């Protein structure tokens, strides 16, 4: 009993001391964080100031060049200079100060406007499961507003900023005692073990030194490695959007919306939206094999080399190609000599692992780095990788490969290829373009015209978003997502170009602005890669295109102006006169899912101002945060414009067209009810009428 006494006392003392330490440490950390935050804000502010300064100077410079009326310094009006303002202090020791009064002229007010970002093309954003801010409902708090807010918050997973503060990272894992003490101080933050886990999690993930394992060093950098072709091109392949021609584009980066159950089964939501190129068929005619030696030192002059290359080309067979297409053909660069089993093994594992780039061929590299026959020709990692990449494209055209690598001769390349035993067989396209193809194509086209008619008759109002289909096992039949959604297959689909469901394009020689044009009839813009005769593929630089059915994709919008509306709030005005049915502008904005639109719409309803526009069954265009000037066009029951959702190269886009001839300076209106019956209530005048 005696012995226990001092021990507990000691322990108590200890724990008290620890508690104090934890408390002080906690305080210190918080202060530190505060300081850092303040510093950051200060820095940001200064940076902003500098930016503003720069911009103003730039602007002033620009203005000096132009003949522009300078903005006058606000002059005093009348004899106000005689008036004085007095600042009085409550304390007797301070004298009251007087200063001349300067009056600023009144500036005519403008209607209310929320800030927004300009955009000329739709921009897809994800659903927001966290409410970013609680909408401002005015200074006065009404009961119905509160009820509304509660309901709103229920719709979301949470409100931004609810999470607690994080621990500052450090390198070493502290003693268990500390965790224990913290846990006793903040019991609500979890047990000792949990805190420890959390600490590890928080400190380890953002280590900036290490590159993530999937990443290969830059080809041009000093640390370039020798990797497989797939690995070298992985970033380019996965990030490139074949539809926008951009890397990590703004419109097609989202995983497909599992709106309907049948689709969600077809394509897993984990899969990247951007299709990898491997499945696209290569144009066979492109593979050129130079038959003439490129110079005196050309590898072709070596004995047997040319035959070797040629032979490999001839040997290629069709079944093999098909097989490669069935699998994820990341094996195109793998060695046949290595043995098929190992290769396919790796391949299957890799595909099961979700297509990661993990297949560094260590063995291969070792073999390649052993200088067997080549006399001291050093290949560094970059060169090796580059060779593999190029061989996938150029096959045995070693002269070209050498030219592109730049640092090696074709003979060296050949030697390396032989050593690597990576001589590839060039796939030869069977059949090729047969003379009967034309006839077939024509038949196809005629069938399509019928189909379009048929589609028209069905006139189902449901329009679904287009997704490139990818079902290598079978042709586009009733199970193809394109067919199911009543969309045509596009050039982005993985199916055969002669697929029955493909849209053939038009063969018009006129302006494609009547229903004679199959594209116009199908509410599609002419595809510059399909419609070769109407002019949609010509005159890229000029605005004078003979085809009038490609305005949205080319952005041939009219100059719009913004001014206070004659009806309500702001309005959109047109600068130059337009004719009936001319394209005016695309209604751009954020592309959001229908669910997200529901959530947002609830807030917009409350504000009585909505820029939502139904795009199709899956998506809605919301011009609230991002948009273009046409967003200010008001609703009218007797409008001068109409809206039309057009399929433009695989994307649904909203075009605003002139309903009649419009004079310059006229305000633009269109009928909001086009898609939404309830959109009416956002418009001032009609709203007032309703209230009356």
Partner 1 sequence: MAPQKHGAGGGGVGSASAPGVGSAGTGGPGGKANGGVYSHSAAAVMPAVKKPKMEQLQADHELFLQAFEKPTQIYRFLRTRNLIAPIFLHRTLTYMSHRNSRRNVKRKSFKVDDMLFKVEKMRGEQESHTLASHLQLTFTGFYHENEKPSQNSENEQNSVALEVLLVKVCHKKRKDVSCPVKQVPTAKKQVPLNPDSSPTKPGALPSLAVSSNEFEPSNSHMVKSYSLLFRVTWPGKRDVNGLMNGETNENIDVIEEFPTRKKRSSSYHEDGEKTFVAQMTVFDKNRRLQLLDGEYEVSMQEMEECPVSKKRATWETILDGKRLPPFETFSQGPTLQFTLRWAGETNDKSTAPVAKPLATRNSDTATLESKPSSLKPTQAIAVKDSLTTDLQVRREQILCEPRQKLRIFYQFLYNNNTRQQTEARDDLHCPWCTLNCRKLYSLLKHLKLCHSRFIFNYVPHPKGARIDVSINECYDGSYVGNPQDIHSQPGFAFSRNGPVKRTPVTHILVCRPKRTKPSLSEFLESEDGEMEQQRTYISGHNRLYFHSDACLPLRPQEMEVDSEDEKDPEWLREKTITQIEEFTDVNEGEKEVMKLWNLHVMKYGFIADNQMNQACMQFVEKCGQQINEKNLCRNFLLHLVSMHDFNLVSIVTIDKAMARLREMQQRLEKDELAEKTSPAPTDEPNWENGSGIETPTSERISETDISASGVPKQNKRQKL
Place of tokens 């001092």: 6
Q: Tell me which stretch binds partner 1 (CB under 8 A): 12-20, 222-230, 297-305, 477-485.
A: 222-230
278 belongs to the binding site for partner 1 (CB under 8 A): yes
* Beta carbon of residue 23, minimum distance to partner 1 (angstroms, whole number): 36
DSSP result, 462-477: ----------TTS-SS
| Long-range residue pairs from 70-79, CB within 8 A, at least 24 positions apart, any chain | 74/102, 74/104, 74/105, 75/105, 76/102, 76/103, 77/103, 77/105, 78/103
Which residue from 276, 263, 234, 273 is spatially nearest to 124, judged by alpha carbons? 273
Q: Tell me which stretch binds partner 1 (CB under 8 A): 6-14, 196-204, 245-253, 478-486.
A: 245-253
Q: Tell me which stretch binds partner 1 (CB under 8 A): 34-42, 91-99, 210-218, 442-450.
A: 210-218
Expressed in percent and rounded to 5, the helix, strand and coil fractions of the chain are 40, 10, 50
* Beta carbon of residue 280, minimum distance to partner 1 (angstroms, whole number): 5
Residues from 392 through 431 that contact partner 1 (CB under 8 A):
392-394, 400, 403-404, 406
Q: Which is nearer to partner 1, 378 or 460 (CB)?
A: 378
* Beta carbon of residue 36, minimum distance to partner 1 (angstroms, whole number): 22
Number of residues that bind partner 1 (CB under 8 A): 110
* Beta carbon of residue 614, minimum distance to partner 1 (angstroms, whole number): 23
Q: Tell me which stretch binds partner 1 (CB under 8 A): 143-151, 169-177, 234-242, 681-689.
A: 234-242
b/e map 429-453, b = 16+ CB within 10 Å: eeeeeeeeeeeeeeeebeebeebbe
What is the distance between the alpha carbons of residues 248 and 241, in angstroms, rounded to a whole number? Answer: 7
Which residue from 575, 557, 584 is spatially nearest to 640, judged by alpha carbons? 584
Alpha-carbon distances of 375 from 226, 330, 416, rounded to whole Å: 20, 32, 11
609 belongs to the binding site for partner 1 (CB under 8 A): no
371 belongs to the binding site for partner 1 (CB under 8 A): no
What is the distance between the alpha carbons of residues 231 and 129, in angstroms, rounded to a whole number? Answer: 35
Among 97, 272, 317, 344, binds partner 1 (CB under 8 A): 272
* Beta carbon of residue 163, minimum distance to partner 1 (angstroms, whole number): 18
Kindly tell me the sign of the dihedral angle through the C-alpha atoms of 592, 594, 596, 598. Answer: positive
Instruction: State the burial class of residue 534 (Cβ atoms within 10 Å of its Cβ: 0-12, 13-18, 19+).
Output: buried
**Structure token pair of residue 366:** 């070792």
* Beta carbon of residue 298, minimum distance to partner 1 (angstroms, whole number): 17
Q: Which residues contact 541 (CB under 8 A, 6 or more apart)?
A: none
Which residue from 486, 490, 527, 488 is spatially nearest to 506, judged by alpha carbons? 527
Residues from 622 through 651 that contact partner 1 (CB under 8 A):
628-629, 632, 649
Residue 502 DSSP one-character state: B
Residues from 73 through 132 that contact partner 1 (CB under 8 A):
74-75, 77, 105, 107-108, 110, 113, 117-121
Residues from 657 through 676 that contact partner 1 (CB under 8 A):
663-666
Place of tokens 């491997």: 278
452 belongs to the binding site for partner 1 (CB under 8 A): no
Which residue from 284, 288, 297 is spatially nearest to 413, judged by alpha carbons? 297
**Structure token pair of residue 644:** 């039309």
Q: Which is nearer to partner 1, 119 or 195 (CB)?
A: 119
Q: Which is nearer to partner 1, 524 or 629 (CB)?
A: 629
Among 15, 312, 316, 380, binds partner 1 (CB under 8 A): 380
At residue 458, φ and ψ (nearest 5 deg) are -60, -40
Among 38, 59, 85, 215, binds partner 1 (CB under 8 A): 215
Which residue from 654, 566, 668, 569 is spatially nearest to 609, judged by alpha carbons? 569
Residue 667 DSSP one-character state: B
Among 15, 192, 203, 238, binds partner 1 (CB under 8 A): 238
288 belongs to the binding site for partner 1 (CB under 8 A): yes
237 belongs to the binding site for partner 1 (CB under 8 A): yes
* Beta carbon of residue 640, minimum distance to partner 1 (angstroms, whole number): 13
Q: Which is nearer to partner 1, 179 or 361 (CB)?
A: 361
Residues from 535 through 574 that contact partner 1 (CB under 8 A):
537, 540, 553-555, 557, 559-564, 566, 573
67 belongs to the binding site for partner 1 (CB under 8 A): yes
Q: Which is nearer to partner 1, 14 or 218 (CB)?
A: 218
Among 54, 247, 317, 660, binds partner 1 (CB under 8 A): 247
Residues from 29 through 58 that contact partner 1 (CB under 8 A):
none
Q: Which is nearer to partner 1, 178 or 646 (CB)?
A: 646
Q: Which is nearer to partner 1, 22 or 361 (CB)?
A: 361
Q: Tell me which stretch binds partner 1 (CB under 8 A): 40-48, 174-182, 375-383, 498-506.
A: 375-383
Q: Which is nearer to partner 1, 183 or 650 (CB)?
A: 650
Among 124, 128, 145, 217, binds partner 1 (CB under 8 A): 217
**Structure token pair of residue 387:** 């060779």
Q: Which is nearer to partner 1, 575 or 673 (CB)?
A: 575
388 belongs to the binding site for partner 1 (CB under 8 A): no
Among 22, 181, 196, 240, binds partner 1 (CB under 8 A): 240
Residue 280 DSSP one-character state: S
Q: Which is nearer to partner 1, 196 or 427 (CB)?
A: 427
R_g of the chain computed on alpha carbons: 34
End-to-end Cα spacing for the chain = 88
DSSP result, 386-425: HHHHHHHHHTT-HHHHHHHH-SS-HHHHHHHHHHHT-PPP
362 belongs to the binding site for partner 1 (CB under 8 A): yes
Q: Tell me which stretch binds partner 1 (CB under 8 A): 154-162, 205-213, 257-265, 409-417.
A: 205-213
Q: Which is nearer to partner 1, 100 or 215 (CB)?
A: 215
> Strand pairing partners for 158?
130
**Structure token pair of residue 506:** 């038009």
Count the Cβ atoms, other than its own, within 10 Å of residue 555.
Answer: 12
In 3-state terms, what secondary structure has residue 277? helix
Mask 317-356, x = binds partner 1 (CB under 8 A)?
A: ---------------------------------x--xxxx
Residues from 457 through 516 that contact partner 1 (CB under 8 A):
491
Q: Which is nearer to partner 1, 195 or 493 (CB)?
A: 493
């Amino acid at each position: 009993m005696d012995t226990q006494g001092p021990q507990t006392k000691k322990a108590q003392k200890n724990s008290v001391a620890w508690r104090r330490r934890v408390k002080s440490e906690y305080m210190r950390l918080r202060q530190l964080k505060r300081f850092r935050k303040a510093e950051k804000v200060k820095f940001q502010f200064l940076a902003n100031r500098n930016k503003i300064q720069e911009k103003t100077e730039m602007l002033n410079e620009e203005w000096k060049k132009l003949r522009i009326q300078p903005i006058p310094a606000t002059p005093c009006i009348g004899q106000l200079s005689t008036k004085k303002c007095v600042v009085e202090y409550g304390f007797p020791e301070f004298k009251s100060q007087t200063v001349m009064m300067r009056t600023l002229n009144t500036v005519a007010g403008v209607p209310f406007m929320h800030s927004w970002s300009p955009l000329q093309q739709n921009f897809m954003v994800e659903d927001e499961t966290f409410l970013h801010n609680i909408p401002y409902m005015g200074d006065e708090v009404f009961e119905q507003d509160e009820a509304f807010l509660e309901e709103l918050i229920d719709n979301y997973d949470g409100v931004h900023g609810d999470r607690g503060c994080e621990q500052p990272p450090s390198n070493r894992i502290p003693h268990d005692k500390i965790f224990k003490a913290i846990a006793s101080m903040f019991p609500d933050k979890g047990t000792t073990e949990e805190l420890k886990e959390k600490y590890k999690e928080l400190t380890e993930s953002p280590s900036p030194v290490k590159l993530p394992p999937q990443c290969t060093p830059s080809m041009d950098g000093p640390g370039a490695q020798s990797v497989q072709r797939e690995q070298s091109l992985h970033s380019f392949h996965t990030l490139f959007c074949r539809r926008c021609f951009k890397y990590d584009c703004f419109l097609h980066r989202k995983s497909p919306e599992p709106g309907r159950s049948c689709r969600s089964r077809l394509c897993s939501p984990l899969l990247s939206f951007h299709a990898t190129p491997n499945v696209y068929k290569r144009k066979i005619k492109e593979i050129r094999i130079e038959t003439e030696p490129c110079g005196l030192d050309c590898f072709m002059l070596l004995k047997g080399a040319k035959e070797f290359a040629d032979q490999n080309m001839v040997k290629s067979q069709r079944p093999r190609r098909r097989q490669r297409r069935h699998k994820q053909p990341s094996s195109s660069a793998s060695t046949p000599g290595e043995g098929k089993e190992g290769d396919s093994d790796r391949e299957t594992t890799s595909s099961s692992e979700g297509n990661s780039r993990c297949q560094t061929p260590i063995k291969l590299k070792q073999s390649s780095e052993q200088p067997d026959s080549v006399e001291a020709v050093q290949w560094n990692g970059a060169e090796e990788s580059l060779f593999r990449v190029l061989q996938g494209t150029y096959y045995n055209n070693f002269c070209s490969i050498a030219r592109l690598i730049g640092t090696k001769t074709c003979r060296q390349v050949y030697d390396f290829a032989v050593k690597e035993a990576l001589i590839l067989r060039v796939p030869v396209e069977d059949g090729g373009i047969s003379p009967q193809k034309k006839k077939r194509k024509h038949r196809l086209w005629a069938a399509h015209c019928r189909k379009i008619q048929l589609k028209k008759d069905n006139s189902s109002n449901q329009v679904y978003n287009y997704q490139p289909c990818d079902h290598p096992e079978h042709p586009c039949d009733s199970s193809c997502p394109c067919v199911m959604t009543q969309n045509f297959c596009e050039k982005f689909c993985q199916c055969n170009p002669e697929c029955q469901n493909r849209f053939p394009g038009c063969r018009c020689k006129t302006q494609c602005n009547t229903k004679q044009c199959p594209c116009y009839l199908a509410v599609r813009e002419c595809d510059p890669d399909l419609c070769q005769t109407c002019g949609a593929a010509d005159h890229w630089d000029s605005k004078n295109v003979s085809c009038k059915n490609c305005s949205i994709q080319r952005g041939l919008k009219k100059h719009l102006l913004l001014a206070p509306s004659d009806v309500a709030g702001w309005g959109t005005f047109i600068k130059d006169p337009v004719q009936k049915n001319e394209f005016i502008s695309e209604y751009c904005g954020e592309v959001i899912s229908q669910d997200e639109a529901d959530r947002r719409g609830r807030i917009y309803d409350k504000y009585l101002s909505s820029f939502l526009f139904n795009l199709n069954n899956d998506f809605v265009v919301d011009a609230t945060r991002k948009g273009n000037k046409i967003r200010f066009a008001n609703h009218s029951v007797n409008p001068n414009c109409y809206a039309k959702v057009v399929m433009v190269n695989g994307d649904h886009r909203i075009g605003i067209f002139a309903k009649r001839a419009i004079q310059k300076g006229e305000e633009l209106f269109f009928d909001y009810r086009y898609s939404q019956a309830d959109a009416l209530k956002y418009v001032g005048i009609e709203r007032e009428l309703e209230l009356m």
